[in-house]
Structure 1
Amino acid sequence: MSNKQKDYWTSFISGGCAGVCAKTVISPFERIKLLYLTRSTQFTYKAAIQDAIYVYQHHGLINFWRGNQANVLRIFPQSAINFSTFDYLRRRFAPDREDKTIMRKIRLFLCGLTSGIVAQSIAYPFDFLRTRLAMQKDAFLYKNIYDAALKIYKIEGFMSFYSGLPIGIIGVGIYHGSGFFSFTLMKEYLLEQYPWVAKHKSTDFAIGASGAIIAQVLAYPFDIVKKRMQGQNVLFQQGEIQAMTSTWMQIKTIYRVEGIIKGFYKGVSLNFIKAPLSSGTAWTVKNSVNRLLNKNYDF
């Protein structure tokens, strides 16, 4: 195996481990958030806490990780492809850390954008199943991921697993493009100016968390629309909504009924806790595993 192939598979493994750890840590936040993102119910911290208490009292602590099996099945290949693709593209198209030009910065952003889109496209059905499993509060239609996949396929057809994909690709491209871009530039600055702290785990966590906040602001509205598209069929079956709509109609409905802030940024304050925790954990695990597998890894 060549050094380039070894570097790719090292990044693939470390990226997959990073994603699994990060998503498992924040799964309870996702469980509560998805109760709101897939519906027009207004999000408040008081209501979210009440729902968390309700879930705990009626279904137990483990129910906060409902759908996490689908998340793990999705996130390992998605995160592995995401990180390894970015590392590959970064080494090929923007390898020179001494290059401070705007063109290299654009290339770094495009590397992150491309890696996010590739990973999301491949793993999207698992993201869809995760949403369906986690969005239900009571009267669960699906027993587990396998039951969900079978019922959805029989009732809604194969293409239902890709509901919301176009808008999802735009959002994930912006999220990962800005996230990888921010992390890379901040990490390279520290490697250059403060090399003695650059490789600390706490540094990886702090930089990853900071980049996630920036990415959230830019990409969050696209995620809202994607989740609505993923969840509308089950809400229609349960009678919570009266009709199925297109992506464009979802956008117009959210804007008209809920507004920009309360609609497109519903629950974003919760994401300002969840996303930094997730991204910080992911980058910490990713770089730690990378250094464990490759002692020459210097990022």
Structure 2
Amino acid sequence: MQERHSTVDQLSPQTPLGAKKMSGQGEISNASKVVTSLIAGAVAGGLAKTIIAPLDRTKINFQIKNIPFSFYEAYKFIVISYKESGFTSLWRGNSATMARVLPYAAIQYSSHEQFKRLLSVETNEDKRKHPIRSYVAGSLAGVVSTSLTYPLDLARARMAVTHREKYNSLGAVFRKTIKREGPGAVYKGYLPTILGVIPYAGTSFFTYETLKRLHHEHFGPLDPNPLERLVFGAIAGLFGQSASYPLDIVRRRMQTQQGSMTITGVLKKVLVEEGIIHGLYKGLSLNWIKGPIAVGVSFTTFDLVSKFLRNLSFFTDF
């Protein structure tokens, strides 16, 4: 592995393609890049998911049931949850979300940076000729982070759609799931998740980086401001969510329902009983709201936090 790299911000256009950048303090090593991206990724993922947690819980409720989605019905679900269980119930399952998202986002951003380095994405002088490398780096980062944290995603989904009496803690989800369905159940829905993560992560990272590269080409060394970063992230999230949404429906059904299920079996059942639009794309309009918000906040937070950390003398001397 190369011992030292310049301070090239993850997913940022601060440095012209193929060039190296010095921070005010000095160069930053690859080890420091890994550490800072882990920290910044955890902060970014945690903040983004907490902001949209009520909308996420609402979406999951419709994904796993054979009931039509509308914004009015989503509003009713939120109001009823608030009246029956209080304001904090809108964040039910968020502890499991945080337990998953913090390591997930940290691993995803950090591994994405390493895959970009291994695939020579950052050092390629004309990245526009090799868009597949950028897409593959994002997809691989999504596969690695998802594989390592998947059981926590399943636990979070089950907590989000059940009453507290059934699963009163993250540990209770694992104990009861393993007891009733066996150890393999903690990876129930893994295959459709991975199949969905490949286009989602690849499209999201590729779109965000492409928009920032275009900004750099048009405005030179001027960094995108936070609002521009949010917009770029929102567009990336919109494309990413749309590319993989039907598989998100499948994985949620497989995660939250007992019994043996296959991807094709779930797809056939949804198509026959609910149709394409009201079945496989149910709740997508809500995802077009929460997804861009979450991805925009996540990418922007990561950029700003990683840039801040990499300008600290501690990391330039690490």
TM-score for both structures, normalised by structure 2: 0.86
- Single out whichever of 116-125 and 33-42 deviates more from structure 2: 33-42
Alignment of 1:2-21 (within 5 A): 3-21=29-47
Aligned to 1:248: 264
- Write the letter of the residue equivalent to 1:71: T
Q: Deviations over 1:138-161 (max 9, x none)?
A: 574111212222111211111111
After TM superposition, give the deviation of residue 295 of structure 1 in Å. 2.4
Match of 1:141 in 2: 166
Match of 1:99 among 115, 126, 129: 126
CA contact 1:12–1:81 (8 Å) conserved in 2: yes
Which residue, 273, 277, 288 being the options, matches 2:304?
288
Instruction: Give the Cα separation in 2 of the matches to 1:209 and 1:97.
Output: 26
Deviations 1:167-203 (A, max 9, x none): 1001011100000000111111112222465332112
Partner of 1:270: 286
1:30 corresponds to which letter in structure 2? D
Give secondary structure in 2 for the equivalent of 1:198. coil
Q: Which moved more, 1:183-192 or 1:158-167?
A: 183-192
1:194 pairs, out of 203, 219, 235, with 219
Query: Percent identical across equivalent pairs?
Result: 31
> Corresponding residue for 2:114?
88
Alpha carbons 1:205, 1:283 under 8 Å: kept: yes
1:97/1:209 Cα in 2 relative to 1: closer, same or farther (>3 Å)?
farther
Q: Does 1:25 align with 2:41?
A: no
Equivalent residues in 2 for 1:172-183, closer than 5 Å: 172-183=197-208
User: Residues of 2 paired with 1:63 and 1:180: CA distance?
Assistant: 32
Q: 1:41 aligned to 67, 70, 87, which one?
A: 67
Shift of 1:97: 5.6
Report the equivalent of 2:177. 152
Unaligned runs of 5+ in 2: 5-28
Query: What is the identity, as a one-letter code, of the residue corresponding to 1:54?
Result: I
Amino acid at match of 1:47: E
CA shift in 2, pair 1:280/1:139, >3 Å: closer
What residue identity is the alignment partner of 1:278? Answer: A
Q: What do residues 250-270 of structure 1 show as CA deviations (whole Å, max 9, x unaligned)?
A: 011111111111111100000
Distance 2:310 2:69 in 1: 45
Rounded Cα–Cα distance in structure 2 between residues aligned with 1:261 and 1:291: 42
CA contact (8 A) 1:97 1:188 kept: no
CA distance, structure 2, for counterparts of residue 197 and residue 41 of structure 1? 49
Q: List aligned pairs for 1:163-242, cutoff 5 A.
A: 163-195=188-220, 198-233=223-258
Deviation track 1:6-27 (CA, whole Å, cap 9, x = no partner) reads: 1111111111111010110000
Partners of 1:196 and 1:272 lie apart in 2 by 31
Normalised TM-score (structure 1): 0.91
Structure 1 unmatched runs, 5+: 234-242
Kindly tell me the number of residue pairs found equivalent between the two proteins: 286
Change (3 A) 1:68 1:208: same
Deviation of residue 95 (structure 1)? 1.7
Query: How far apart, in 2, do the equivalents of 1:288 and 1:101 lie?
Result: 25
Quote the Cα distance in structure 1 between the aligned partners of 2:220 and 2:186.
46
In 2, the alpha carbon distance for the partners of 1:249 and 1:187 equals 41
Distance 2:220 2:227 in 1: 14
Q: What SS does the aligned partner of 2:137 have?
A: helix
Structure 1 residue runs of 4 or more that deviate by more than 4 Å after TM superposition: none
* CA displacement at 1:245 relative to structure 2: 3.1
Q: State the alpha-carbon separation in 2 of the partners of residues 100 and 172 from structure 1.
A: 23
Q: Within 2, Cα distance between the matches of 1:169 and 1:244?
A: 18
**Letter paired with 2:125:** E
Shift of 1:210: 0.7
Comparing 120-129 and 192-201, the one that deviates more: 192-201
